[in-house]
C-alpha cells in the first residue's frame, strides 16, 4: 500500500509531452533568433537594443553544472520569471507560448506544466548545448 500514493501522483500528473527538436528549431528561428542570434549565442540583430544582453543559449547546461535548467528556461519563456531585458514579461509574442496543457520533466524529474511550443523549444535548446 505504500506505493499507492506514488502511483496516484503519477497518474494525476498526466502524460509527458513528446518533444520535437525540429519543430523547436523552427520556433526558435522565428521567435528567438532576432535577439539570441541564429547560433543562439546571444548575438542577434536586436541584441544591442536590449537593456540586458541576451543569454548565450548554447551554454545553459555548462553554466548549471552540466544540467540543463528546464524549470528556469520554461519560467523565463512563459512569463513566470520575467526578464527586464525584454521590456515586458516573456513571451513578447502574445499567447503563442501560453498554456499549461502538457507536462515535461524538470531537471529533478518532477513534472512541470507548460505548452507544447515550449516543450519543443526545450528539445531544440537541449540539443545545442555545448560542454
CATH number at residue 73: 1.10.760
Task: List the one residue out of 82, 104, 77 whose CA is nearest residue 18.
Answer: 104
Task: List the one residue out of 14, 24, 45 whose CA is nearest residue 97.
Answer: 24
Query: Distance (Å, rounded) from C-alpha 72 to C-alpha 115?
Result: 15
Task: List the one residue out of 74, 105, 101 whose CA is nearest residue 90.
Answer: 74
| Residue 46 falls inside a structural domain | yes
> What pLDDT score was predicted for residue 90?
57
Whether the pLDDT of residue 11 is over 50: the answer is no
Query: Distance (Å, rounded) from C-alpha 16 to C-alpha 58?
Result: 24
Whether the pLDDT of residue 112 is over 50: the answer is yes
Domain count, the chain: 1
96 confidence band (pLDDT: 50, 70, 90) = confident
Strand, helix or coil at 107? Answer: coil
Strand, helix or coil at 105? Answer: strand
Domain carrying residue 71: 18-127
| Residue 3 falls inside a structural domain | no
Whether the pLDDT of residue 10 is over 60: the answer is no
Whether the pLDDT of residue 26 is over 60: the answer is yes
1 confidence band (pLDDT: 50, 70, 90) = very low
Amino acid at each position: 500500500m505504500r506505493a499507492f500514493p506514488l502511483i496516484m501522483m503519477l497518474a494525476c500528473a498526466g502524460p509527458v509531452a513528446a518533444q520535437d527538436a525540429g519543430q523547436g528549431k523552427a520556433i526558435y528561428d522565428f521567435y528567438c533568433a532576432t535577439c539570441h542570434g541564429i547560433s543562439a549565442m546571444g548575438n542577434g540583430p536586436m541584441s544591442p537594443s536590449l537593456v540586458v544582453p541576451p543569454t548565450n543559449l548554447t551554454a545553459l547546461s555548462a553554466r548549471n553544472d552540466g544540467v540543463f535548467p528546464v524549470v528556469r528556461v520554461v519560467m523565463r519563456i512563459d512569463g513566470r520569471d520575467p526578464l527586464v531585458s525584454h521590456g515586458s514579461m516573456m513571451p513578447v509574442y502574445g499567447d503563442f507560448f501560453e498554456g499549461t496543457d502538457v507536462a515535461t520533466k524538470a531537471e529533478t524529474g518532477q513534472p512541470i506544466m507548460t505548452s507544447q511550443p515550449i516543450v519543443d523549444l526545450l528539445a531544440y535548446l537541449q540539443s545545442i548545448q555545448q560542454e
